[in-house]
A = this chain, B = another copy of it.
Amino acid sequence: MHQAFIDYLKKTGLNDLELQRIEKVIIPRKLRRRQYLLQEGEIARYNCFVVSGCLRMFHLSKSGTEHILRFAIENYWLSDYESYHAGKPSKCFIEALEDCELILITKEDLDLLCNDIPNLRMLKDNWEVQCSDASQNRILSIISETPEERYARFLQTNPHVFNRVPLHMVASYLGMSRKTISRIRQSYGR
């Protein structure tokens, strides 16, 4: 099942020997809708590549409200990197929104592999750069734009996510109530 993962790696120019080393340590995992990959308090030991499916990472406040920090779909990497990097208990949950096929790698294995395989390291560095750019843009969006603008930006930037997740989760991701997102759609279209 993890052929998609291999293909993804091959695009980056890894040779067969390197591929074999990677295949030795990866852990394929299936998740059904509503299953959790990570729960609050656990340590995120794995970085997770999404072969198929869709997940969300969210935080649960004391008052019981969920706040979505990220979505992940095919070809995304996902983990609670704060927990992953520091080895501390996570403050978040990661939940499958659809049935998922995932590839897990422990931080130890991935770090070792990255030391020996420059192309893999590049891949990882690129992903991290992408993430940090996305974070910065998201921060700017939240502090500077109106709800309308944020909605429009999300729709434009993440159409593939938008079409797969319930609207109230988009609202949660954008930091607005579902009432507000409904109102926007009314005037803004769709």
A: which residues have CB within 8 A of B? 59, 61, 65, 67, 69, 81-82, 85-86, 128-129, 131-133, 135-140, 142-144, 172-175
Known: A175-B142, A175-B143. A133 touches B85 (CB 8 A): yes
Which residues from chain B contact A135 at a C-beta distance below 8 Å?
Answer: 132, 135-136, 139
Pairwise interchain contact A81-B144, C-beta atoms closer than 8 A:
no
The answer to whether B139 and A69 have CB atoms under 8 Å apart is yes
Interface of A is mostly: helix
Rounded to whole angstroms, the CA-CA distance of A130 and B128 in the bound complex is 12
Q: Which residues of B contact A69 (CB under 8 A)?
A: 136, 139-140
| Cα of A138 to Cα of B69 in the assembled complex, Å | 11
User: Which B residues are in CB contact (< 8 Å) with A82?
Assistant: 133, 136-137
